[in-house]
Structure 1
Amino acid sequence: MLGSRRRAGEPVGTGEALRLEDVRKVYGTAGNRVAALDGVSLSLPTGTFTAVMGPSGSGKSTLLQCAAGLDRPTGGRVYVDGAELAAGGGEAALTKFRRQRIGFVFQQFNLLPTLTVMQNVTLPLKLAGRKVDRARAREVLARVGLADRLHHLPAELSGGQQQRVAIARALVTEPKVVFGDEPTGALDTRSAREVLELLRESVRLYGRTVVMVTHDPVAASYADAVLFLADGRLVGSLQTPTAEAVAERMTHLADEVERQRVAAGV
């Protein structure tokens, strides 16, 4: 399984999984400051799949890193499952927060090459000081189609299989939010489709919340909604997206940004 399965009739999307309030991230010093995020606010319900898109340099990766606790915003607040992201804590508190509430799937699979599939998947539980339930880890791996690869090393797997291991690793701790940073960017078309189906299934059947940064309109079409980012600001959204609609929106994103600037008198 990909997590505790919802009971029949139990609604998806009850509660708030992620909230950003006026989040800003500024790099550089006086005279050479760059606002990677410029007052981003959003709210994502539990049990939803959201894609984040925008041109290069729009702030997509910075948004994900600040929302996931991989980087600290310059200003504003981030809440995951109703709790502020390591409010008032140091790096140890932030690490603990991430291990308890957040899962990650990256473009480069970030598997430890000397550990087996099973060992890679159970590693987050060990790092968090939690009991390692091997039976449950086997169930998760079986659900992502790797029941017969438990004792293989990453080098013995295809790219698609390695990314499925990474998804199992992200889900085994039952995180509140799973963040994906271009999770299909290094995969062929078939493997990418399988990975996206797994992420969507984790939302539909098990109530996980997935936030995925991508540049691919086809990948974005697997999400419930797409958020568009430009110049560090949210500039639009699209519900129940299709690949064609996303591509069309991206094509005209620069015009939309310019219209908003004119309307704001910038």
Structure 2
Amino acid sequence: MRRGEAARPAEGGPSPEALRLEGVRKVYGPEENRVVALDGVTLALPAGSFTAVMGPSGSGKSTLLQCAAGLDLPSAGRVFVDGAELAGRGEAALTRFRRRRIGFVFQQFNLLPTLTVLENTTLPLRLAGRRVDRDAARGVLARVGLGDRLGHLPAELSGGQQQRVAIARALVARPPLLFADEPTGALDTRSARDVLALLQEAVRADGRTVVMVTHDPVAAAHADAVLYLADGRIVGRQSAPTAETVAARLTHLADEVARQRTEVA
């Protein structure tokens, strides 16, 4: 493999890397008042992994997710999803790519209020012009505990149930990569635990790759590893996290960032 080239799929097989970023930089604003949200981020995540992304406010977590998912274009650097580079695609082609290979779960459930649970779940397939397998969609909804709620509207569901619909919607298209941005932020403790268990199952049972932005050490402890960001850079990685070790690392990181910013000022 040539230097700087992302890992490519073996013949007939999936890419060993679900996500790769090479020197990704994202800058907002004019030169005299620019904000560097990402500052040369390089990472590689293997297929079938669950990674949490954490850091102080303003560290670049959401920007990292948006650039990695193709929702925003980096100012510099390269992004590969499932071995395919995102750059060089028109907006229509990029949209088609995301619909085939990327799923999204957000803190705000983004369900259409006039559609039923089943209709919300199959909406991405209809938008992509793909055949809707209603039996398969019912199976996914049964797995997330909503097999008896197919005809309900979002307003008739609890917050935890709505988030489970959002997860089912993300899974029904069978994307290899799933991004979750604060997926438990609006949920109570029990609902949050159920949602995190579903994300774990997507990794363990289905071989999906999950990248989750969160501020919650308990949520991060469900991941295989945690990436820590500060001022747009990756400043650490932690394997086999626990809520206690994550909380301690975040406290130390916040103190260090505050100290450095005070010194600069």
* Fold shared by both chains (TM-score > 0.5): yes
Cα distance change on mapping 1:189 and 1:110 into 2, 3 Å: same
How far off is 1:257 after superposition? 5.5
2:155 is aligned with 1:194: no
Deviations 1:155-211 (A, max 9, x none): 000000000000000000011110000000000000000000000011011100000
Q: Which residue of 2 aligns with 1:53?
A: 54
Is the Cα contact below 8 Å between 2:15 and 2:83 reproduced in 1? Answer: no
Quote the Cα distance in structure 2 between the aligned partners of 1:125 and 1:260: 48
CA contact (8 A) 1:21 1:41 kept: yes
Q: Deviations over 1:197-227 (max 9, x none)?
A: 0000110111000000000000000000000
Matches within 5 A, 1:166-245: 166-245=166-245
Native 8 Å contact 1:80 1:176 kept in 2: no
Which residue identity is paired with 2:26? K
Kindly indicate whether the alpha-carbon contact (under 8 Å) linking 2:56 and 2:254 is maintained by their aligned counterparts in 1: no
Amino acid at match of 2:48: G
Give the AA of the match of 2:40.
G
Partner deviation per Cα, 1:226-265 (whole Å, 9 max, x = no partner)? 000000000001000000000000011145569999xxxx
Judging changes above 3 Å, is the alpha-carbon distance between structure 1 residues 260 and 236 closer, same or farther for their aligned structure 2 residues? Answer: farther
Amino acid at match of 1:31: E
Q: Tell me the residue number matched to 1:80.
A: 81
- C-alpha distance after superposition, 1:61-110 (max 9, x if no partner): 0000000111111110110100011x312211111111011000000000
Aligned equivalents of 1:129 and 1:152: distance in 2? 24
Q: Tell me the equivalent position of 2:92.
A: 92
Report if the CA contact (8 A) 1:235-1:257 is conserved.
no
Paired amino acid for 1:65: Q
User: Structure 2 counterpart of 1:136, which letter?
Assistant: A
Corresponding residue SS for 1:31: helix
Deviates more, 1:87-96 or 1:69-78: 87-96
Instruction: Return the alpha-carbon distance in structure 1 between the equivalents of residues 31 and 37 of structure 2.
Output: 15
CA distance in 2, matches of 1:129, 1:32: 43
- The match for 1:62 is 63
Match of 2:21 in 1: 20
Q: 2:31 is paired with a residue of what secondary structure?
A: coil
Tell me the residue number matched to 1:5.
none
Distance in 1 (alpha carbons) for counterparts of 2:258 and 2:77? 25
Equivalent pairs: percent with the same residue?
A: 79
Against the structure 1 CA distance between its residues 21 and 258, is the aligned structure 2 distance closer, same or farther, given a 3 Å change threshold? farther
Equivalent residues of 1:20, 1:42 under 8 A apart: yes
The one-letter amino acid paired with 1:226 is V
Query: What CA distance in whole angstroms lies between the structure 1 residues aligned with 2:142 and 2:254?
Result: 44
**1:15-62 per-position Cα deviation (integer Å, ceiling 9, x unaligned):** 110000000100001111110000000000000000000000000000
Question: 3-state SS of the aligned residue for 2:33?
Answer: coil
The size of the alignment, in residue pairs, is 248
Partner of 1:40: 41
Q: Tell me what 1:132 maps to.
A: 132
Provide the C-alpha distance between the structure 2 equivalents of 1:208 and 1:153, rounded to a whole number of angstroms.
28
Which consecutive residues of structure 2, in runs of 5 or more, have no partner in the other structure?
Answer: 1-13
